[in-house]
Structure 1
Amino acid sequence: MSRVRIVGGEWRSRLIDVSTVKGLRPTPDRVRETLFNWLGQELDGRRCLDLFAGSGALGFEAASRGAESVTMVEQDPVAFAALRDNAKALQATRVQLVRGDALKFARSVPQPFDVVFLDPPYRAGWIERIASLLPGLLTEDGVVYVEAEYGIESIEGLTRIKHGTAGQVYYHLFAACA
């Protein structure tokens, strides 16, 4: 088991446990700092979805920064158990954990989100499989953060507004097309 630190907000500098699930890569501190600079440091009133929660670094960071609610979806039982333990340790009352398949969850979302975090396992085709559902997950002014092992120029129905790289990580921010 390893640990990552929350970089901002109410839980700044708190450590969360990361399970040793194969392929789990928590978003690096530097990338999370950049992302939350893009989003604005405070997420007050925003509804967030962490679709492939994994370590929970993105979702807990959003909750720490005042998100109204954060829904974290994770299928792996070991990773999910770590998410549950971290949520309990942080007393994260605005975090809802869902154990299940991200694609099935995305198809049945009852109401849209302001921010969607999409950091699926690499080399498994998840982004291609879920891309058509992304516009439907967003509020009118919602954004999608996508992390991948390659650069993404476009996703149908979305406009890329920011992007960057850090080592082997390509990260992007997309907004709903006007």
Structure 2
Amino acid sequence: MRIIGGSLKGLRLNPPKNLPVRPTTDLAKEALFNILLNQIEFESIRVLDLFSGTGNISLEFASRGAEQVISVDRSIHCVNYLKDTSRQHHLTQIKTYREDVFKYLNIETEQYDLIFADPPYDLNRIPDLPKVVFEKNLLKPDGLLIVEHQSMQNLSNHPAFVEQRKYGHSSFSFFRPNFQ
């Protein structure tokens, strides 16, 4: 696992082996950020990273100059690893929260430019993520929600769904408020 762009480009991440995670592959992450590169001005965005795990995605956004990155995961070990890595590389824009993602979403009131969610693939509430994000109005009007999920899963029935991109067994589904 490595940072593929920005100030920390090339940095290898070596999280502890016992973390309860399935990190986004470098191939899929590189493809995702190539898509985003043409759509987003990284330096001025606020990002919410749900099910942040190792913080791979949070660190990538911070490396590219995101103004603020909020990372939420229920594992204290994941949160501590991300806190330590952020501190080590002076990424003060990353804030971590140890919380169940759905509980966090129920109390969140801020709006974000981009929300990224990489839930466990066996989580049966994955289709609820877009529903909750849009009901709570957590995206700015030109914001973007990206949900990583198994390629065989289809999230296109939500009215804000824009497209799905497949990378092997993983897919990214994209949602925008103005598509509703």
TM-score, normalising length: structure 1 = 0.89
Cα pair 1:145 1:172 within 8 Å, conserved? yes
Distance 2:112 2:157 in 1: 18
Distance 2:21 2:79 in 1: 12
Q: Which residue of 1 aligns with 2:147?
A: 146
Residue by residue over 1:91-136, the C-alpha shift from the partner in whole angstroms, topping out at 9 and shown as x without a partner, is 1111111111111111121211000011001112131333311222
Show the 5 A alignment for 1:13-162: 13-21=10-18, 23-40=20-37, 42-135=41-134, 136-149=137-150, 150-154=152-156, 156-161=158-163
Distance 2:111 2:129 in 1: 15
Residue by residue over 1:2-31, the C-alpha shift from the partner in whole angstroms, topping out at 9 and shown as x without a partner, is xx1100011101122323346511111111
Distance 1:155 1:137 in 2: 20
SS in 1 for 2:5: coil
Q: Relative to structure 2, which stretch is displaced further, 127-136 or 140-149?
A: 127-136
Q: CA deviation at 1:172?
A: 2.0
**1:63 to 1:25, Cα distance in 2 relative to 1, 3 A:** same
* Structure 2 portions without partners, runs of 5+: none
Q: CA deviation at 1:38?
A: 1.6
Greater strand share, 1 or 2? Answer: 1
Q: CA deviation at 1:142?
A: 0.5
TM-score, normalising length: structure 2 = 0.88
Cα pair 2:54 2:78 within 8 Å, conserved? yes
* Structure 1 portions without partners, runs of 5+: none
Cα pair 1:112 1:138 within 8 Å, conserved? yes
Q: Which amino acid aligns with 2:143?
A: G
Cα pair 2:19 2:78 within 8 Å, conserved? no
